[in-house]
């Protein structure tokens, strides 16, 4: 199955930084120690405007991500999407994801392998 035109959408505003997506991906894809199919990076905290602080966890898929093509072929969701504890990850055709991202409006990233 070709996954051209499909991607991942991550609403990082509500990502807790739990790293479950990293672990789920490593287990699913047998990714060796020191490498990741998706890696959660933390930005901040630093002082932003006024009394506000900027602090985000942002999961970044890597070149080892194949969008879980074996799971998709069986009608399942990608492992990271399935195991995300905060349900902030989504998968699908990029036009649908782009629509959801536009509705969300901020703190959302789309990944196309």
Give residues in contact with ligand SF4 (CB under 6 A). Answer: 10, 15-21, 24-25, 28-29, 37-38, 40, 57, 59, 61, 65-68, 78-80, 84-86, 88-89
State the nearest-atom distance from the C-beta of 105 to ligand SF4, in Å.
Answer: 19
* 18 DSSP assignment: -
Which string of b and e fits 60-82 if b means at least 16 CB within 10 Å?
ebeebbebbeebbeeeebbbbbb
Residue number, 30 or 50, with CB nearest to ligand SF4? 30
Cβ contact 53:46 at 8 Å: yes
Residue number, 29 or 97, with CB nearest to ligand SF4? 29
Residue number, 88 or 97, with CB nearest to ligand SF4? 88
* Tokens describing residue 47: 């002082």
State the nearest-atom distance from the C-beta of 53 to ligand SF4, in Å.
Answer: 19
Asked if residue 45 has a cis previous peptide bond (ω within 30° of 0), the answer is: yes
Residue number, 76 or 99, with CB nearest to ligand SF4? 76
State the nearest-atom distance from the C-beta of 34 to ligand SF4, in Å.
Answer: 16
Helix, strand or coil, per DSSP, at residue 95:
helix
Neighbours of 51 (CB within 10 A): 6
State the nearest-atom distance from the C-beta of 92 to ligand SF4, in Å.
Answer: 12
């Amino acid at each position: 199955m070709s996954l051209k035109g499909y991607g991942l959408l991550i609403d990082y505003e509500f990502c807790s930084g739990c790293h479950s997506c990293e672990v789920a991906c490593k287990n699913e894809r047998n990714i060796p120690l020191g490498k990741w199919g998706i890696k959660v990076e933390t930005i901040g905290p630093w002082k932003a405007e006024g009394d506000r602080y900027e602090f985000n966890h942002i999961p970044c898929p890597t070149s080892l991500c194949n969008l879980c093509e074996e799971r998709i072929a069986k009608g399942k969701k990608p492992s990271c999407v399935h195991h995300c504890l905060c349900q902030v990850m989504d998968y699908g055709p990029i036009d649908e994801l782009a629509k959801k991202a536009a509705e969300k409006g901020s703190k959302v990233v789309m990944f196309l392998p």
